[in-house]
Amino acid sequence: MRIKNNYLANLFENVCRTNANEIEFLQAVNEVLSSLEPVVERRPDLAAAGVIERLVEPERLIQFRVSWTDDAGRVRVNRGYRVQFNSAIGPYKGGLRLHPSVNASILKFLGFEQVFKNALTGLPIGGAKGGSNFDPKGKSDGEIMRFCQSFMTELARHVGADTDVPAGDIGVGGREIGYMFGQYKRIRNEFTGVLTGKGLTFGGSLVRTEATGYGLCYFTQEMLSARGLGFAGSRIVISGSGNVAIYAAEKAAQLGGRVIAMSDSNGYIHDPEGIDLAVIKQIKEVERGRISEYARRVPRAAYTEGPGVWSVPCEIALPCATQNDLALEDAKRLCRNGCFAVAEGANMPCTAEAIALFQHSGVLFAPAKAANAGGVAVSALEMSQNSLRMAWSFEEVDSRLQEIMAGIYRKACAAASEYGRPGDLICGANIAAFLKVAEAMLWQGVA
């Protein structure tokens, strides 16, 4: 997106120079800077204090070697990272991604987004992200354990309950968090809330597993009901079939929607009568299998190899797989098929061109930073419970999650209106989050 404001355009040019070829990171920064035009015009003090120049530079980027031994006894080497992006409003907080595509650009974009997302939750957490180019697919439990132990052996010196609290993301769920927690405890000899997404028997919070998907639907519900719309009677298409996708599907169905298509990186299933989520959970959470298996077990469903989940006609689209998985052509197709709302469960799943088309076509659009903040919000509630040495009930955490998501919606709407972009939740979310972090940075001096 072309930035019109001179100061921001120059700043972005400089970010492009210093982060050349980091396309995902530049995409995320460009979107935020474009939103900030009305803010810098009103707040010259922020430019004077160099707040934005500081915000686009990670406070610390740690890269390390992760060596481990596979089941055949062969030594394997991966690259590990932690990007500690901004700690102005709390300890660094954000997930760990294990996927062969992981590189510095992807983790910087995710860490940057996390800073704003975490600010929107209203809870005291800074932003970070980490992970490795390790590919968990096809690995045995033993290999996963040895990788996680090796990864944490180095990471342990950089994290801590009051310093930096990692959690899950793509390829990291309860199993991986458990192995990492066990290794941290062994190295430090302390039982603290250094990770979130832990098992329920050792400090995990109820609702954390469901939180991102449920939160996405709570946010979407707010956005829809403001226009007199809802999930009830709508057909829903979801990309991905991992943690976020599964619990988005569960809540969307509870709210009266019919989830008719889901995908994985190999292909997608279409089940016009509504996907049987128990079958998906068995395939994905228990067997760690492929989504094609669904069509074998539910004969009324069809499986199609390859991308293309967005060609299935629907009223509500929930991209919950990965970045840039919904591009301009997909957006055109969704619009032609009558889709009226898109809410991002994944981080940056829609390309800038796709978003521009949705906005131009009047499709309701919920940006990731706001819409998928439920996961990290419940992570912060897990940190609180760990500090209190307490465990809250499912109902208690779920009702706090609902309040937080409604609060984020209100904040994004209010900021959008106040800065002359009524109804634009992207601008609203970016501005509300930015102002909170910027204020904290101003008070803490140049650092």
**Residues that bind ligand NDP in the complex, under the rule CB under 6 A:** 168-171, 212, 240-245, 264-266, 320-322, 325, 345-347, 372, 375
Q: Are strands 60-69 and 75-86 parallel, antiparallel or unpaired?
A: antiparallel
Name which position in 159, 375, 411, 412 contacts ligand 2IT (CB under 6 A).
375
Q: Give the CA distances from residue 280 to residues 98, 262, 302, in Å, rounded to whole numbers and listed in that order.
A: 22, 9, 14
**What span, in angstroms and rounded, lies between the C-alpha atoms of 370 and 343?**
10
- 436 catalytic? Reply is no
Under the binding rule (CB under 6 A), the answer on residue 367 touching ligand 2IT is no
Residue nearest to ligand 2IT (CB): 95
Judged by CB under 6 A, which of 93, 146, 258, 421 binds ligand 2IT? 93
Closest CB 170 distance from ligand NDP, rounded Å: 4
78 binds, among ligand 2IT, ligand NDP, none (CB under 5 to 8 A by kind): none
From the list 90, 93, 91, 109, the residue with the least C-alpha distance to 197 is: 93
Q: By CB under 6 A, is residue 245 in contact with ligand 2IT?
A: no
Torsion angle, alpha carbons of 148, 153, 158, 159, to 10: 50
Q: Cβ 261 to ligand NDP, closest distance in Å?
A: 13
Considering CB under 6 A, how many residues would be counted as binding ligand 2IT? 12
Q: Which stretch binds ligand 2IT (CB under 6 A): 1-9, 93-101, 134-142, 412-420?
A: 93-101
Active-site residue, selected from the candidate residues 93, 108, 117, 129 = 129
- Nearer CB in complex with ligand 2IT: 82/117: 117
Q: How far is the CB of 265 from ligand 2IT (least distance, A)?
A: 18
* 169 lies in the site for ligand 2IT, by CB under 6 A: yes
Site string for ligand 2IT, 319-358 (x = CB under 6 A): ----------------------------x-----------
Residues classed as catalytic: 129
